[in-house]
């Protein structure tokens, strides 16, 4: 098995994060640092990260968490703030799938399944994310809703068409298939409606319903499979 995949299966980090660990020289095999994520390894190879032995794959788990405001979506925080990992005492390494800003709330997943994390977080898999958004500024009229639906020109390019449902004069439901940084906030700012509150209410087929702020639950095997099925397969590049 390739080294990056081995680390992801062992619950160290997602596949891409594992590749970064390897290239940073933090991974050793039999005491020697390696920087090639494609290096073949097995359980008896003596893999370690920062000197800590990695014994192999552990059972994979996925948790849904209703992230409260003020909690950061990282495994650790250099400023000592509470993290989403702190709220799910699972007794094993977990890392968040994607991220929500500290002032945002709602559904976020934590897992030790690197392959699933990559499926759900890679923009090319187009897993839909639905947000309930409260905005400031003038009441939301049809021109503003239509602009969001058709795509907004941002500094990193035009956004893809979005699903938009107006819930009130200053509230809407927005479904995106992209994963750009702070995309919801930037789209709303571009139409003159700064975001006052942002809550993720759905990720693919999984809804937030039934979880109080700060609460979490482990997903069933059926829920995990539905999440996998929500990720579109990547198109092959013509050779």
Give the active site residues: 101
Rounded to whole angstroms, the Cα distance separating 230 from 97 reads 15
* Residue 48 φ/ψ, nearest 5 degrees: -140, 150
The answer to whether 213 and 105 have CB atoms below 8 angstroms apart is yes
The residues facing 65 across adjacent strands are 108, 216
Q: Which of 15, 224, 202 is nearest to 127 (CA)?
A: 202
Virtual torsion, Cα 163, 139, 108, 100, nearest 10 deg? 110
The answer to whether 118 and 179 have CB atoms below 8 angstroms apart is no
**Spacing of C-alpha 200 from chain mean position:** 11
Neighbours of 190 (CB within 10 A): 15
Tokens for 236?
A: 């092959």
Rounded to whole angstroms, the Cα distance separating 69 from 108 reads 12
Task: With residue 67 as reference, give the H or E element that holds it.
Answer: strand 62-67
DSSP string, 122-136: -GGG---EEEEEEE-
């Amino acid at each position: 098995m390739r080294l990056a995949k081995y680390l992801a299966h062992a619950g160290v980090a997602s596949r891409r994060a594992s590749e970064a660990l390897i290239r940073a020289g933090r991974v050793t095999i039999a005491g020697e640092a390696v920087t090639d994520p494609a290096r073949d390894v097995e359980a008896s190879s003596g893999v370690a990260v920062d000197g800590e032995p990695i014994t192999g794959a552990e059972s994979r788990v996925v948790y849904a968490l209703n992230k409260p405001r003020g909690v950061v979506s990282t495994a650790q925080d250099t400023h000592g703030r509470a993290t989403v990992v702190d709220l799910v005492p699972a007794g094993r390494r977990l890392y968040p799938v994607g991220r929500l800003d500290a002032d945002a709330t709602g559904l976020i997943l934590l897992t030790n399944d690197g392959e699933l994390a990559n499926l759900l977080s890679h923009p090319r898999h187009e897993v839909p994310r639905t947000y309930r958004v409260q905005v400031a500024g003038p009441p939301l009229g049809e021109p503003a809703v239509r602009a969001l639906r058709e795509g907004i020109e941002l500094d990193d390019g035009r956004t893809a068409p979005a699903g938009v449902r107006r819930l009130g004069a200053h509230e809407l439901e927005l479904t995106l298939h992209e994963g750009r940084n702070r995309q919801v906030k930037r789209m709303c700012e571009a139409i003159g409606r700064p975001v006052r509150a942002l809550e993720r209410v759905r990720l693919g087929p999984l809804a937030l319903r039934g979880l109080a702020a700060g609460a979490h639950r482990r997903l069933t095997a059926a829920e995990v499979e539905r999440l996998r099925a929500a990720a579109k397969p990547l198109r092959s590049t013509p050779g």
